[in-house]
A and B are shown apart, each in its own frame.
Chain A
Amino acid sequence: QKEVEQDPGPLSVPEGAIVSLNCTYSNSAFQYFMWYRQYSRKGPELLMYTYSSGNKEDGRFTAQVDKSSKYISLFIRDSQPSDSATYLCAMRKEGGATNKLIFGTGTLLAVQP
Chain B
Amino acid sequence: DGGITQSPKYLFRKEGQNVTLSCEQNLNHDAMYWYRQDPGQGLRLIYYSQIVNDFQKGDIAEGYSVSREKKESFPLTVTSAQKNPTAFYLCASSFRPGRGVKTQYFGPGTRLLVL
CA distance A63 to B51 in the complex (A): 32
CA distance A103 to B104 in the complex (A): 11
Across the two chains, which residue of chain B brings its CB closest to A42? B108
Instruction: Say if the beta carbon of A17 comes within 8 Å of chain B.
Output: no
Chain B residues 88-115 with CB under 8 Å of chain A are 88, 90, 94-97, 101-109, 111
A105 touches B42 (CB 8 A): yes
A93 to chain B, nearest CB (A): 10
A104 touches B42 (CB 8 A): yes
A3 to chain B, nearest CB (A): 11
B interface majority secondary structure? strand
Q: List chain B residues, Cβ under 8 A from A100.
A: 33, 45, 48
- Give the tally of cross-chain contacts (CB within 8 A): 59
Known contacts A41-B109, A43-B90, A43-B107; A92 and B102 CB within 8 A of each other: yes
Q: List chain B residues, Cβ under 8 A from A44.
A: 43, 90, 106
Q: Mark B3-19, 1 if CB is under 8 A from A, else 0.
A: 01010000000000000
Which of the listed residues B4, B95, B103, B107 has the most CB atoms from chain A within 10 Å of its own CB? Answer: B103
CA distance A90 to B96 in the complex (A): 17
A45 touches B106 (CB 8 A): yes
Known contacts A41-B111, A95-B97; A101 and B104 CB within 8 A of each other: yes
A interface majority secondary structure? loop
Chain B residues 17-75 with CB under 8 Å of chain A are 31, 33, 40-43, 45, 48, 50
B94 touches A99 (CB 8 A): yes
Known contacts A98-B31, A103-B42; A42 and B109 CB within 8 A of each other: yes
Q: Which residues of B pack against A, CB within 8 Å?
A: 4, 6, 31, 33, 40-43, 45, 48, 50, 88, 90, 94-97, 101-109, 111
Q: Which residues of A pack against B, CB within 8 Å?
A: 8, 32, 34, 36, 41-46, 49, 88, 90, 92, 95-101, 103-106
